Amino acid sequence: MSDKLRSDEITNVFSGRQGFTLADIRGFYAEKEPALNENTLLSRVHYLRKKGIISTTGRGRYAVGGKEPFRLPPGDEEVEWYGRISGQLPHIRCCVWSTASLDRFLGVDPAGTVIIAEADRVAVETVFDLLREYTTSLFLAPGRTILERYVPMHVNPVIVIPLISEAPLDEYGGIPRPSAEKLIVDLLAEPDLLRRYQGKLMRELITRILRNHQVNHDRLVRYAARRNKKSTIVTLFRELSLGNIIR
């Protein structure tokens, strides 16, 4: 099987791409085996994945190598805030994360921590009222002016915002966390909330995630479309020379 797979050639041909399709793999084999049938092709793809030569990034989409899953481990503060919400409101969907987690991922010095608590839209005000028992540095869906002028005046402020329906979340130790797909889209959709990570830092962050971590392109496209950012992401990926990894 290993000779038939042509693993080294697969790696050499596709390693320069951020993503490729089943049709691309079919074309690769068809150059030397024009009569290759679909079942044999799918069998080879299965073994390429099993050997870690390629990994799945979406339906019918692949990348070279077995990339690391994206993880954004929660800090103690995030665990504590999430526990307060989930303990009182166990049936709502929520996600608590912070700029400190993102700074740790990037390996940069934190410039003040902002806690972001996202919850189902119908429960946002309930979550806000609940958290008022624990802090006065609390903001409910603040606009640009408040984010620029007043939030920075507080130490470890907590911002409560609606969690977009169908937002893709992962779990870390049973705690909901932003997925790679969510983070990429939110960086573009929330420039005021995440203003520290705009510009060059945002481009570096997105490039790093896509090159080093597993990203489900189907989830990325769905969430980008949900936030009306699909065309923006397509344009950005082209500017970053990441290729047509979403369509």
d(CA 78, CA 84): 10
- Other beta carbons within 10 angstroms of residue 71's beta carbon come to 13
pLDDT of residue 74: 94
pLDDT of residue 133: 96
Q: What is the mean pLDDT of residues 165-189?
A: 94
Strands 94-98 and 54-58: what pairing? unpaired
pLDDT of residue 212: 83
pLDDT of residue 214: 81
Per-residue pLDDT band for 159 (boundaries 50, 70, 90) equals very high
d(CA 61, CA 20): 6
Q: Say whether pLDDT at 247 is over 60.
A: no
Structure tokens at 227: 């936030």
Q: Say whether pLDDT at 175 is over 90.
A: yes
**Residue 125 Cα distances to 90, 96, 128, angstroms:** 16, 15, 5
d(CA 182, CA 180): 6
- List of residues 6+ apart from 136 with CB closer than 8 A: none
Convert the pLDDT of each residue in 83-124 to its tens digit. 999 999 999 999 999 999 999 988 888 778 999 999 999 999
H runs (alpha helix) in 66-179:
76-88, 99-106, 124-131, 144-149
pLDDT of residue 56: 80
- List of residues 6+ apart from 35 with CB closer than 8 A: none
pLDDT of residue 87: 96
Q: What is the mean pLDDT of residues 179-184?
A: 95
Convert the pLDDT of each residue in 1-31 to its tens digit. 557 888 888 888 887 676 788 999 999 999 9
Domains and CATH numbers, the chain: 2-64 (1.10.10), 76-239 (no CATH)
pLDDT of residue 18: 67
Q: Say whether pLDDT at 192 is over 60.
A: yes
d(CA 120, CA 27): 45
Strands 158-162 and 138-140: what pairing? parallel
Q: What is the mean pLDDT of the chain?
A: 90
Strands 158-162 and 20-21: what pairing? unpaired
Q: What is the mean pLDDT of residues 28-55?
A: 88
